[in-house]
Amino acid sequence: MPSIRRSLIVYFLLLLVLALGGMGFLADRVTGRALADKEEAEVKLIGVSAVEREQEARDKFDRELLSQARATARVAIGDYAVQLELVNARTNAVLPLLLFGQGTAPTPFAPLFVAADMREMRPPMPTPGGGASAGPLWWPLGQALVKANAAELTYTAFLSQHLDEPDAPLIQINSSQRGLVWKSSKLAGDELPFDRERWDEALEDWRHDTLELPGGAVRRVVFKSGTVVGFRWGGWGWGGPPRPESRSGAGRDRDRPPAGPRPGPNVNYYHVARPNADLLARVADIHADADRQKEAVREDTLSARRTVRLLLALGSLFAFTGLLVGGWALVSVGLRPLRKLTDAVSRVNEKDLRLPVEASELSRELVPIHARLAQALEELRQAFEREKQAVADISHELRTPVASLLATIDVTLRKPRTADQYKQALEECRQLTKQLGGLVERVMTLAYLDAGQTPVHSTPTDTAEVASGCAATIRPLAESHGLSLTTDLRPTPTVSTDPDKLREVVINLLHNAVEYNRPGGSVTLSVREGNGGRVVVEVSDTGIGMTPDVRERIFERFYRADPSRTATGVHAGLGLAIVKEYVARLGGAISVETEPGRGSTFRVTLPG
């Protein structure tokens, strides 16, 4: 037997599972969407940051190139100028001795620079007397020192010494004078392309570009710097005052440097380049770091998603466990009114069919149950009362004819009787037995109806024809009571019903109309078509009629409107009860219209 408590717990748990499942699904969807949006925003932010960092790396790379170009310019100009000052000091220290040895007075403003590619110093100057002087003994030493200083002043050597380092970038210097070019050793046989005229127009201070060299792509900056130059380039020097001339003026043109750049404004272009691979390596590191950050964001999102799902699962498990543990007690408290009603029902017995509990003592949900139980018990009490009354009525109905039968037999047997007297006694016994048989038959009919053992055999039936046969059967009885029986049988649709039970209904109604009529009265039987294809059968009489109280109870078993009538079996109060049961079995309805002293009309409506 299933338990209400267990069933309620199971239902509650099922509802809880559905509710928690729905809420968990919605929460997972909402949090998943929020985390996905957050992840998308962070990934976009990381991407934007990577682009900015890439641009910063490119800008930094260009700034480094520009800084290296400026540093190259500082070395090529500033550091070289310092070197020139040192060489100048050494040359000024030794040149007076050389000049003195040639008969020339030393001067503190001797020339700063001499030809670097000179094969030898000038021969000894002629003496005032016309002879040549071999000069002092230190002349060879001074000549070697001058040659060493001249070699030290070579610009290309200086650049190679200070700029051409192993870790230095690609460097190229273009000069605006004589189109001179210096390249670092890393350029090997390559040369960075340069169009001075075009660049002079487009270049203000510096400019970046990307070049394709045989060794790969490089990023270059060209830095433009102007200066007043006096330096040796590739063995030739310029700048400074002219060399001293001989007294005769001979050899002036021979002693000058070859034709070429002259002292004055000069513009140098400093090219500094690095392979693009260095920049691409930095960019690759930036994007690799961005990819790592994105992957970390995705991992954080998955971790947060798992955490949310774990919390939802733990919360659902906690709620499920709590309801499972506490639900039993809560349901017990909720079922307390039901237990009270159950206890009250258990105290009901056949002697007392009243519920010993009031509806106000129960919960609202149990009030309809209480009312229905109370109604059922009241109906049961009335049924018991009817059964008791039926037993009493049946006993009474049976006792009278049985007593009459016994009395007739006893009187007949007291003394010898003639054949006619015995025949009359037997006729009386037969009549009493017939009454007993009719009563028993009616009681058995009701018993069969109550037990559902009276099946209905529906066939297409002409109601007017059935009514005509019933009228023919009852007409002799009506005439014997001094009554007239008339019929009004109109054509009606054929109905599907049980003709035997319909015949019993009509005969019972006609028999009652005859029995409860006035002398000289009339009985009318009519058949007509009603609304919706229904068939209406009416039996009217001009009898005693009924009061409202009698009309309410007319269909009760063993109820007789006129108790003064002799119980003959025909008037046992079972006819109309059987009529009502038969009409209900046929799917129809029966009603009565009556007025005391003016007769009654019974109306039976059958479905079409």
More confident residue, 99 or 105: 99
Nearest to 354 by CA among 377, 371, 372: 377
SS3 state at 177: coil
* pLDDT given at position 522: 92
pLDDT at 519 over 80: yes
Domain ranges of the chain: 4-127+136-240+261-279, 456-606
What pLDDT, on the 0 to 100 scale, is given for residue 257?
39
Residue 7 has what pLDDT? 80
Q: Which of 63-77, 464-478, 570-584 has the lowest mean pLDDT?
A: 570-584
* Percent of the chain whose pLDDT exceeds 90: 17
Q: Which residue did the predictor score with more confidence, 385 or 103? A: 385
- What is the per-residue pLDDT for 116? 34
CA pair distance 524, 605, nearest whole angstrom: 17
Residue 550's pLDDT is 85
pLDDT for position 204: 64
Phi, psi of 133 (to 5 degrees): -105, 135
Q: What's the pLDDT at 294?
A: 92
Tokens found for residue 160: 């190679």
Point out the least confidently predicted range of 130-139, 426-435, 465-474.
Answer: 130-139
**H-assigned helices in 122-242:** 139-152, 155-163, 196-202
Asked whether the beta carbons of 112 and 146 are under 8 A apart, the reply is: no
The token pair at 213 is 């060299």
Tens-digit pLDDT profile for residues 2-47: 677 778 778 878 888 888 888 888 988 898 899 999 999 999 999 9
The model's pTM = 0.44
Residue 246 has pLDDT above 70, yes or no: no
Mean of pLDDT values over 235-262 = 38
pLDDT band with cut points at 50, 70 and 90 for residue 98: low
Do 535 and 606 meet the contact criterion of CB atoms below 8 Å apart? Answer: yes
Two tokens, residue 52: 């900015």
Confidence of residue 202 (pLDDT cuts 50, 70, 90): low
Q: Does domain 456-606 match CATH 3.40.50.300?
A: no
Burial of 309 (0-12, 13-18, 19+ CB in 10 A): middle
pLDDT at residue 530, as a whole number: 84
State yes or no: pLDDT of 120 exceeds 80.
Answer: no
Residue 268 DSSP SS3: strand
Q: Which distant-in-sequence residues (6+ apart) come within 8 Å of 208 by Cβ?
A: 62, 65, 66, 219, 220, 221
Q: Classify 122 as helix, strand or coil.
A: coil
**Closest to 539 in 3D by CA, of 531, 547, 528:** 528
Q: Of 359, 333, 329, which is closest to residue 344 (Cα–Cα)?
A: 359
**pLDDT over threshold 80, residue 66:** yes
Mean pLDDT of the chain: 77
Q: How far apart are CA 219 and CA 384, in angstroms?
A: 116
Rounded average pLDDT over 149-173: 76
Q: Identify the pLDDT of residue 190.
A: 80
Choice among 16-25, 238-247, 490-499 with the minimum mean pLDDT: 238-247
For the ranges 197-211, 282-296, 528-542, the lowest mean pLDDT is seen at: 197-211
Closest among 539, 524, 546, 536 to 589, alpha carbons compared: 536
Where is 476: in which H helix or E strand? helix 463-480
**pLDDT band at residue 353 using 50, 70 and 90 as cut-offs:** confident
Which pLDDT value is given to residue 133?
Answer: 46
Q: How confident is the model at residue 149 (pLDDT cuts 50, 70, 90)?
A: low
